[in-house]
A and B are shown apart, each in its own frame.
Chain A
Amino acid sequence: MAFKERLTRASEAKAWYGELPVESLYTVGIAGEKFFRTLKDEGKFLGTKCPKCDMVYVPPKIYCERCFERLEQYVEVADCGTLESFTCVHIGLDGKKLEEPIFVGLIRLDGASTCIVHKLGETKVEEVCFGMRVCAVLKPKAKREGSINDILYFKPSVK
């Protein structure tokens, strides 16, 4: 046996409590800065285009992750797109059950090759389906901070 001794009473088993204190301030980066500034000031979505792979990254990257080209061509994409997947999240960040579940979607904006992950709003479980058309609902301009949360949610587009 590996040990010559073992704990034999439940009262002997103790734990030491502590944490890994991490507070972070992240810069949004070169591409992120362009993306969020444009979203904040103009309410528009920017992506970067890789001419070689014919990909439009939204949010943008300064590189194509597939071919490693430096991407410098910023293109505007639509604020509406298609729902590629969705889920209804019942637990929060603390693992506890949420009072109100949160709708989350994977949205491919028109003109983009990639999808944005965001919340869905102004909709019901029964309505949501694959391929549904959705549009971004942004915070009022004055309240935007240059964050992914400048988008409040995506809602079904009325047509």
Chain B
Amino acid sequence: MKKQIQKDVTNIKQAQSEKLTPDPKLLRGIGLSTDDFKKGKVLTTHWVADTKYAWDQGIAIGRYLEGLKHGKILGVECHKCGRKMVPPRIFCECCFKPIDNWIELQDTGTVNTFSLCYVTWDMKRVTEPQIPAVIEIDGASKGMGIMHLLGEVDPKKVYVGMKVKAVWKPEKEREGAITDIKYWKPIK
């Protein structure tokens, strides 16, 4: 017998259909309003974490960023499955083998999907929407996209399947970052 777990099941009352679970009488959890904090009704502690990092870019992303600095979008190719991938990686995740070679992709592409976003990352409201999109890059296999922003376009006129081209920062301002591309604009 496992640790005194012994109970006559016949003694357990059949649950009635009126029984409501979870039982409201047993439910705990005290909800507070913003005011409760502002007016000091509850005590709190506060902390700003000191969490800084320098992530090693490594082989693949290092070369990708270096390419961006020079106004190029680099991808990689796996000869086994034939996929041309971006962002680049040193392994093919489908075949689990080292990739075969680097390829230069075009700085044009197709909008796979997009959104018109009226809030910032920390939920502040903006009047002019940002237009994040997944952009399938020309030269890579179908469906191979990256996330970026659209610009120089009327938000109402963006559509899935729209052809776009990268708008680069001036060469001097590029630092080897994804933001070396300012945004993507429609190709007329």
Contacts and interface: CB of A to CB of B under 8 A. Distances in A.
Interface stretch (A21-29, A102-110, A133-141): A21-29
B61 to A, nearest CB: 8
Contacts of B62: 7, 12-14
Nearest to B102: A5
Given A12-B62, A27-B32, A22 B43 contact: no
Interface string B74-101: 0000000000000000100000001110
Interface centre among B45, B57, B99 (most CB of A within 10 A): B45
B98 A3 contact: yes
Given A7-B59, A17-B54, A22-B49, A2 B98 contact: yes
B92 to A, nearest CB: 11
Interface string A18-56: 111111111110101100110000000000000000000
A35 B90 CA distance: 55
B127 interface: no
A4 interface: yes
A37 B52 CA distance: 35
A22 B51 contact: yes
A139 B121 CA distance: 40
A87 to B, nearest CB: 22
Contacts of A145: 43
Contacts of B35: none
Main secondary structure of the interface of B (DSSP, over half): mixed
A12 B63 CA distance: 9
A158 B52 CA distance: 45
A30 B43 CA distance: 10
B43 A15 contact: no
A30 B30 CA distance: 9
Interface in B140-178: 176-177
A147 interface: yes
Given A3-B59, A15-B56, A26 B42 contact: no
Nearest to B53: A18
Nearest to A12: B62
A25 B30 CA distance: 16
Nearest to A15: B54
A16 B53 CA distance: 8
Contacts of B49: 20-24
B46 A19 contact: no
Contacts of B51: 19-22
B44 A27 contact: yes
A27 B36 CA distance: 11
A24 B50 contact: no
Nearest to B37: A25
A94 B50 contact: yes
Nearest to A70: B28
A26 B53 contact: no
Contacts of A6: 59
Contacts of A27: 32, 42-44
B65 interface: yes
Nearest to B47: A24
Interface of B: 30, 32, 37, 42-59, 61-62, 65, 90, 98-100, 176-177
Closest 4 interchain pairs by CB?
Answer: A15-B54, A22-B49, A146-B43, A20-B51
